[in-house]
Amino acid sequence: MIRPHRFSPNRMTTADNAFQSAVDHQLPAQRIADAAHREVTGLAQQLESAGVGVDLFEDHSTSTPDSVFPNNWFTTHSDGRLVLYPMYAQNRRGERRADIVEHLKRHYRVWEVRDYSPAEEIGGYLEGTGAMVLDHLQRRAYACYSNRLTPTLFFRWCREFGYEPVLFHAADSSGTPVYHTNVLMSVGTSVALVGAELIAEHHRQDVLDQLQAGGREVIELTEDQIRKFAGNTLELAGSSGPVMAMSTTSLASLRSEQRETLQRHCEILAAEVPTIESGGGSVRCMLAGIHLEPSL
């Protein structure tokens, strides 16, 4: 996780991120930044209380307003690979930090750092587990078409990492494409949440079939629930079993039967992150998973 000291909604990403919301510009910038700082701290504390280890890094930069969303620029994998990704917005490219890479190499078993970021120079983008939702058990990579994902780069990644690509179109009711797949869906061990009605009709059943083929119970979300970040959740390994991390906004949007279904599969951990959600992402976007073995 990254704890920002100068958080603000990113003006360079508003064009294609319909999830960003207006911030009260009468509020002092430092007040907004302080609120985001508290929200990250609170989520980190909740995760640790649930038995989820957290590596927390500080960001004091004024030029990286989206640094709180690290899952877009790197991923880690159980085979010891660490991957760096090409970012669509120019001011997001500065989020890639050598000190974080070095920390991971010191504290975990990393045998290769794979760097896709040079693709930015030729207009190629693949924003990590924002652009892709990975099913680690069934080895499938779900992705929707957007400015944040170049299909040829996505297919190359799938070949190199041994995932079956599931690429589809998804858009809201106004026709605006979903900017990141991880606001649309979440894949856990035995349950998945997905905004099925936003997926193009000719792709929808295939996506649902793929999710159910893994034996998961699928919770279908409405467009309104997706806008409230109900799809932007992440299953984590807690000390007492699986934990589904999400925001209080997303939890409040779920119907009672949806909550009950989710609770049959995992404990729900809900954090208040409204300031960060104004930047267009929620709890899942704030978490870059560590799938590496610790160093001895």
Query: What pLDDT is attached to residue 127?
Result: 98
Contacts of 226 (CB under 8 A, 6+ apart): 172, 183, 184, 195, 198
Does 296 or 67 have the greater pLDDT score? 67
Nearest Cα residue to 7 out of 289, 280, 284? 280
Longest dimension (CA), the chain: 52
First vs last C-alpha separation in the chain = 23
Looking up tokens 């984590």, which residue turns up? Answer: 236
Q: What is the pLDDT of residue 280?
A: 87
* In a domain? residue 209: yes
Mean pLDDT, range 87-104, rounded to an integer: 96
Instruction: Please tell me the distance from the alpha carbon of residue 185 to that of residue 122, in angstroms, as a whole number.
Output: 29
pLDDT of residue 18: 55
Query: What band does 20 get if pLDDT is binned at 50, 70 and 90?
Result: very low
Residue 130 within a domain: yes
Place of tokens 């997926």: 199
Question: At 145, is the pLDDT very low, low, confident or very high (cuts 50, 70, 90)?
Answer: very high
Is residue 31 situated within a structural domain?
Answer: yes
Give the least confident one: 18-22, 174-178, 221-225: 18-22
16-25, 36-45, 75-84, 89-98: least confidently modelled range:
16-25
The total number of residues shown for the chain amounts to 296
Given this model, what pLDDT does residue 19 score? 53
Domain assignment present for residue 149? The answer is yes
β-partners of residue 141 are: 134, 165
**Domain assignment present for 53:** yes
Arithmetic mean of pLDDT over the chain: 94
pLDDT in tens, 264-291: 999 999 999 999 998 889 999 999 999 9
Q: In the chain, how many domains are there? A: 1
Range of the domain at 252: 2-286
Instruction: Report pLDDT for 102.
Output: 98
Q: Is residue 90 part of a domain?
A: yes
- Beta-ladder partners of 271: 247
pLDDT in tens, 219-232: 999 999 999 999 99
Provide the CATH number for the domain around residue 123.
Answer: 3.75.10.10
CB 5 within 8 A of CB 33: yes
Is 247 a member of any domain?
yes
H helices of the chain, in order, are: 29-49, 98-107, 128-131, 151-161, 201-213, 223-227, 248-253, 256-265, 274-277
Write the pLDDT tens digit of every residue in 184-205: 999 999 999 999 999 999 999 9
Question: Is 291 part of any domain?
Answer: no
